[in-house]
Amino acid sequence: MKRLFLLSVLLLASCAAPKNSENKVKQLAVDTALAYFTFDYENVEEWMQPVQGDFYYKNHIEEYVLPVLAPYLQEYYIKSNAELVSVEEYSRGSSSDGAQVVIWKITLQVDMPWPKKGPPSPFGPNERDEIPWTKGERAIVYGAAAYQLGVWNVKLLAKNEADALVTELTLE
């Protein structure tokens, strides 16, 4: 059930771009990851500013993640800045409904790391949902993009969610 929800959310977060612009969507996934791990406890309203207009931010991050995560990171006075280390294709395939899906593994350097004990409930590894998190000064996040009906859709995933999505794909 969680995997179907994950894929449906992925298909809702859209980036209107022609299929031949996969590089633009890859860059959007990288930009979203960089924005996600750049957090300033004194300016919470600016978190993810470069991608605040995107559907993924407006309908998932802003409504669901930010209200829980912001107070938690403020407790630790987190001012983090993310820099890209690498991006590589992780998987590619088709979903059961015919969407073409690409997942990139995005590695970032994050100075200042987020709290070692992990994310607050309900976002930890033993919770209902998991969100991307730092491991020391490194963060690995998976940018998933789906192309269907002329629209690209982008979402950030934790490793377990990316692996679950891969098991649902018909690999190319």
Sign of CA dihedral 161, 166, 169, 172: positive
Neighbouring CB atoms inside 10 A of 139's CB total 22
Identify the band that residue 155 occupies on the pLDDT scale cut at 50, 70 and 90: very high
Alpha carbons 78 and 35: distance in angstroms, whole number: 14
Range of the domain at 73: 2-171
- E strand spans, 1-116: 14-15, 39-40, 79-94, 100-111
Least confident of 16-30, 36-50, 111-125, 155-169: 16-30
On the 0-12 / 13-18 / 19+ scale of CB atoms within 10 A, 56 is buried
Find out whether 171 and 91 touch, Cβ atoms under 8 Å: yes
Residue 2 has pLDDT above 70, yes or no: no
Residue 77 has pLDDT above 70, yes or no: yes
Model pLDDT, residue 59: 85
Task: Give me the number of domains the chain comprises.
Answer: 1
81 phi and psi, to 5 degrees?
Answer: -130, 135
Show the CA angle centred on residue 28, arms to residues 34 and 78, nearest 5°: 20
Residue 172 has pLDDT above 80, yes or no: no
For the chain, what is the radius of gyration of the CA atoms? 15
Alpha carbons 150 and 73: distance in angstroms, whole number: 37
Instruction: Please provide the average confidence, as pLDDT, over all residues in the chain.
Output: 88
